[in-house]
Amino acid sequence: MAITKAVRDQLLVQARHRCTVCAEKCFELHHIIEKSEGGGDNLENLIVLCPNCHQHRYHRSKEFTPNQLRLYKQQLKDQNEIEKRLLQNLEEILKLLPTASPEDIENRLKVELQEAAAIVSPEKSPGIYATIQQTSEWLAERDLIRGGARRAIEIEWEIRKEQEKRKYPEIKIKSVDDNALRKAPDFPCAFYLEFMMDRRPNSDWVKVFMAEWEMSPYDMKRKTRIQGDRIVVVVPDSDNLQEYADRAKRLVESTNKRVHTLGFQRIDQIYEQQKRTALEHFDAIQSMKARTRNIKI
């Protein structure tokens, strides 16, 4: 039995013709449970993946498990529902225009944008992101945001700053994958020990983690790397494995702390400077417009 057009269309619409894992635009369908292992062509057993996530990350690198792919599908479903409610809320704000005060409209819009920052990005949700930006601009053009277009610029940069911070959620170690224990080639009694994190950290978080590892004062510092959502450590079979778990946990905690203090301070500085620049350009243009009104032709 082949995948029906109805099932294919439903999958692609749900995923917005993007990879469910990384949101890449190119895509192909993947069986979560392979057909050779009894998996079917039904909607529940299929997921939209890009060629890289499908062929390299899943089949070659074994980065994902079937259960993890199901979680990605569920997250996509949850996100779609949240975005639907967000659009409904924006429509309600527009309906309030004849009766609500500009202050109330601005406050409600800002709340919606701040909540949306947790889930909405130009890459994963281009349609909803554009709608949010257009709504803010629409209100500003009609002076329905207190302060008009200038205040809209401030709100936009505040949301951009919040969105950037949301890229660095707190990471936690959730378990040890005893099924991943395998021989490592480093020395005769070396093995790979893998700690599973509750999410895949971004590349900047990984860089901070590795810097924390380099600076850590451990007596026996074994080779360590981040692979996907896992911390992989090369250990000898004679070592105390609990110590490695405790060290990994401390490293994750110190990385979170460093990212959420120094990292967030840096984000604040960068985005505040960019907001000031945008406002200076806006004020300069407004000043020029005012001066042009005095030009006689």
pLDDT digits (tens, 9 = 90+) for 4-15: 888 888 888 778
- 251 shares a domain with 189: yes
Better-predicted residue by pLDDT, 143 or 21: 21
Residues belonging to the chain: 297
Q: pTM of whole model > 0.75?
A: no
**In this predicted structure, what is the pLDDT of residue 9?**
86
pLDDT above 70: residue 129: no
The terminus-to-terminus CA distance of the chain in angstroms comes to 76
- 257 shares a domain with 187: yes
In a domain, 179, yes or no: yes
**In this predicted structure, what is the pLDDT of residue 282?**
80
> Could you give the CA distance from residue 4 to residue 148 in angstroms, rounded to a whole number?
51
- 190 shares a domain with 153: no
> Could you give the CA distance from residue 156 to residue 51 in angstroms, rounded to a whole number?
34
In a domain, 48, yes or no: yes
Q: How confident is the model at residue 193 (pLDDT cuts 50, 70, 90)?
A: very high
**In this predicted structure, what is the pLDDT of residue 138?**
54
**In this predicted structure, what is the pLDDT of residue 245?**
93
In a domain, 280, yes or no: no
**In this predicted structure, what is the pLDDT of residue 151?**
65
- State which of 16, 46, 64 marks the end of a domain: 64
Average pLDDT taken over every residue of the chain: 80
Give the pLDDT mean for 126-151: 56
In a domain, 226, yes or no: yes
Q: How confident is the model at residue 144 (pLDDT cuts 50, 70, 90)?
A: very low
Better-predicted residue by pLDDT, 66 or 130: 66
- 179 shares a domain with 148: no
In a domain, 297, yes or no: no
In a domain, 284, yes or no: no
pLDDT above 60: residue 294: yes
**In this predicted structure, what is the pLDDT of residue 146?**
45
Question: In this structure, what CATH number is given to the domain that contains residue 189?
Answer: 3.30.1360
In a domain, 279, yes or no: no
Better-predicted residue by pLDDT, 60 or 129: 60
Q: Give the CA count within 13 Å in the CB-facing half-sphere of 294.
A: 4
pLDDT above 50: residue 145: no
Listed residue (235, 233, 213, 215) closest to 224, CA to CA: 233
Q: How confident is the model at residue 165 (pLDDT cuts 50, 70, 90)?
A: confident
In a domain, 288, yes or no: no
- State which of 148, 166, 184 marks the end of a domain: 166
pLDDT above 60: residue 29: yes
pLDDT above 50: residue 143: no
**In this predicted structure, what is the pLDDT of residue 174?**
92
Q: Which amino acid is at 146?
A: R
Task: Name the domain count of the chain.
Answer: 3
Q: Which domain holds residue 183?
A: 173-261
Q: State the CB neighbour count (10 A cutoff) for residue 206.
A: 15
- 257 shares a domain with 178: yes
- 186 shares a domain with 248: yes
